Each structure stands twice: as structure tokens, then as C-alpha cells.
Structure 1
Amino acid sequence: MSPAVFSHGDLRLYLLSLLAEAPQHGYGIIQALTDRTGGTYTPSAGTIYPRLAKLEEEGLVTKTVDGRTTIYAITDAGRAELTTRESELEDIEEGLADSVRLIASEVRQSVQEAMRSLRADLATAAQEEKRAAKQRARSEGMNDERASSREQLQRADAAINAFRAQVRTDLRTHVARGGAVAASVVTDLERALDDAAHAVTRALSVRDGS
């Protein structure tokens, strides 16, 4: 199964399984599909309602109108079909779980690579600043060193802001395209940022002690 699209006939069977859990209205079914697929698949109303109508024609579901809301419920015939196709449903659910894990892994890897690049850039910038500071201290004195430090601080601010904008854009774009962001990805991001902060602190401590 594709991580974003149900194979032919799978969506029909999965709709029956959702309604077997509890009666539901159309929007609730769409939201349930989004949640169950980890955000990798959000069907349109034009996809869901015709299939529900077909299931109703086949006598597998019924609908009840409550004001402006239409509630769909599975029938005994629908439950019987689920029972006979239980192994197929298990394959569908396994495929969905694999898709969610794949998306989470891809996002986690992207964040980790970005953090490794940030740590390397910060370490290089700290080393360059230390060497430049020593040269300035010998030739220009402490006042010039302070002025240069302010320039390097501006460089650091720019690098941090650029990284923040890039990662934020990547994550928001991923979610906007229907991707999922697992809690472990955010945890990895937090851990990597903390490591980078410690690396900068250590570099500054070495500079102060030199």
C-alpha cells in the first residue's frame, strides 16, 4: 500500500471497520482516517461520501439524518463482510502502521542531519572567532576585540535565525503536505539543540581560559 493512498478496494473495507467501532458522520470518518494514517492521508468529501452511498446501496451501512448531520452505521451484513475479510483488514492496518513509521523516520532523519550541520557550523565559527580574537588582541587591543565580538555575535544571531527558519519551514511544509511529525522527532530536535548549546558554551569557556 502506498503511504498516502489506499489500494483498490481497501478504503471500502476500512470504512466498514471504522463504522464497526461506532456510528459516525462523514467529517468524523475523514478525521478518523487522517488520525489513523498519521496524517499521511486525508481524503476529500468527494472521495468518502460516494463510497458511503455505495455501501448503503449494498446494504452494508445505514444512514440516519439528525438535523443537518447524517450519521452512518454498519449493518449486520456489513459486520459479516468484515468477518469474512478479517485477514485483508489486518494487512491494511499493518500497511498503515508501516507508512506512519516510515514518515516519522524520514522527518527524524531530516532534523538530525540539520542539527549535525548546525553543530559543525557553530564549532567552526567558534574556532574562527577564537583565532581572529587572538590576532586582534595582539594588534588592536581589547577595544577592537569587543567591537569584533559584537560583529561575531551578529553573525551568530544570523546563523541561528536562518537555521530556525529553515527547520520551521521544513516541518510546516511536511505537515501541510499531509505528513506526520512524531513526538520522537521533536525530542530529537530538542536534544540536538541542547547539545549544540553546550558545544557553544564549551567553546566560549576555552576562549575565556586561553
Structure 2
Amino acid sequence: MTPPVFAHGNLRLYLLALLEEQPRHGYELIQALSDRFGGTYSPSAGTIYPRLAKLEAEGLVAKTADGRKSVYEITDAGRAELDARRHELDAIEEDVTDSVRRLAEGVRAEVDSAMRTLRAELATAAREAKRTATQTSSTANPHAESNRAVHEADLVLNEFRQHLRTELRRQAGRGRVSADTVALLRTRLADVRAEIAKELAGA
């Protein structure tokens, strides 16, 4: 997806910061960036390697061979540039946090929408049961039974939403909520909705 941050020159600075932590292969830098952004931004090799080559040409990083891979390490000149622009790096980190928070809010909106849809479908099923159910014995009351089931389902949905919302907020603070999380949530909820609808249709 389109990166939410990294204005001109910012990615170069962020690469220096990652290499200051430890030497890394190019793929490790790509993975580290993806992890920092909670999966919302994963740069391609075509984005990373040309910048590494330019940093090497400027003497800011050094490259050594490790088998078939190249290991990049920040140089003293690279550390000097990073120290001179440390305030810019802090601003980038704030943007990363804001980006992940916006994604988490989007996930919560997906949860709320899915829960409203499930609740509406259960309520519709209950109304249909009221119209079509017949009393099978003098002691059985399918209408009341159906209403109780809908009430219990509503409680289950609320409990699910609260637990998931709490977990999303906790993981968003660690940068672990990603676009894949939204896709997984949407798919699984659609599966549950379809399964419930099938079960109700055959009831």
C-alpha cells in the first residue's frame, strides 16, 4: 500500500537508524521496516537497494559479503549524519505511531460494522421465526425460545466486540495491527455470517 510517511529523504534517514541498531542484510531491512509499520508499509527491493547503494557511495554505510548476501553496516560518517538529523527521526517515529493508530481505528470500525450486520440478521431471523413457528406442544413456546436465543446471541456479540477492541488497542500500541488484520477479520466475520444464515435457513 502507499506509505503513510517518508517524505523526500526520510527513508534514507530511517535506513541509517536501522543500521545503527545493528548490521543487516537488505531483506532484514525490508522486514524491519514492515515490522515498525505494523505491516502497513513494506518497501520493495527496488526501493531499498538503490538507496543502500547511494548511502554506500556517499560513505555513510559499508557493505561486506556474507555468503551470497551483502551485509550493510553504518559508518562513522553515517552516524554523524544521523546525529545531526536526530530531531527529524523523532518526527518520523511520531508519524509512524499516528499511522498505526489510524489503521487500528479502521479495524475497530470494521468490527462495529460487522457486529451491527450480524445483530440485524439475527433480529430478522427472530421476526421470521415469530411469523412461521407453530406451537408443537402445550408446554413448548418457540416464540419465547427464539427471543431468548436472540438475546443471548446479542450478549455474545457484545462480549466478542469488547474483547477484540481491547486486544486491538493493546497490539496497536506495539505496532502489530496491519492491513492483513483487517482482511482476516472481514473474511472470518463473513464466514460466520454465512454459516449462521445457512443454519437459520435450515432450522
The TM-score range, normalised by the shorter chain, is: 0.5 to 0.7
Q: Which residue of 2 aligns with 1:181?
A: 181
Q: Distance in 2 between matches of 1:123 and 1:4?
A: 40
Per the TM alignment, residue 121 of structure 1 is displaced from its structure 2 partner at its CA by 1.4
Q: Which residue of 2 aligns with 1:44?
A: 44
Q: Could you tell me which runs of 5 or more consecutive residues in structure 2 were left unpaired when the two chains were aligned.
A: 138-177, 197-203
SS of corresponding position for 1:99: helix
TM-score, normalised via structure 2 length = 0.66
Give, as a single letter, the amino acid of the residue that structure 2 aligns with 1:130. K
Q: Which residue of 2 aligns with 1:127?
A: 127
Give, as a single letter, the amino acid of the residue that structure 2 aligns with 1:82. L
Give, as a single letter, the amino acid of the residue that structure 2 aligns with 1:131. R
Q: Which residue of 1 aligns with 2:95?
A: 95
Q: Which residue of 1 aligns with 2:28?
A: 28
Q: Runs of 4+ in structure 1 displaced over 3 angstroms?
A: 2-5
TM-score, normalised via structure 1 length = 0.64
Q: Could you tell me which runs of 5 or more consecutive residues in structure 1 were left unpaired when the two chains were aligned.
A: 143-177, 198-210
Contact 1:100-1:180 within 8 A present in 2 as well: no
Per the TM alignment, residue 128 of structure 1 is displaced from its structure 2 partner at its CA by 2.2
Q: Distance in 2 between matches of 1:75 and 1:181?
A: 38
SS of corresponding position for 1:71: strand
- Share of identical aligned residues, percent? 61
Per the TM alignment, residue 3 of structure 1 is displaced from its structure 2 partner at its CA by 4.8
Q: Which residue of 1 aligns with 2:77?
A: 77
Corresponding position: 1:56 with 2:56: yes
Q: Distance in 1 between matches of 2:81 and 2:69?
A: 26
Per the TM alignment, residue 4 of structure 1 is displaced from its structure 2 partner at its CA by 3.4
Question: Could you give the per-residue CA deviations for residues 11-55 of structure 1, whole angstroms, max 9, x where no partner exists?
Answer: 000000000000000000000111101111111111100100100
Q: Which residue of 2 aligns with 1:163?
A: none
Which structure features the higher share of helix residues? 1
Q: Distance in 2 between matches of 1:98 and 1:61?
A: 29
SS of corresponding position for 1:73: strand
RMSD: 3.1
Tell me the matched-pair count. 151
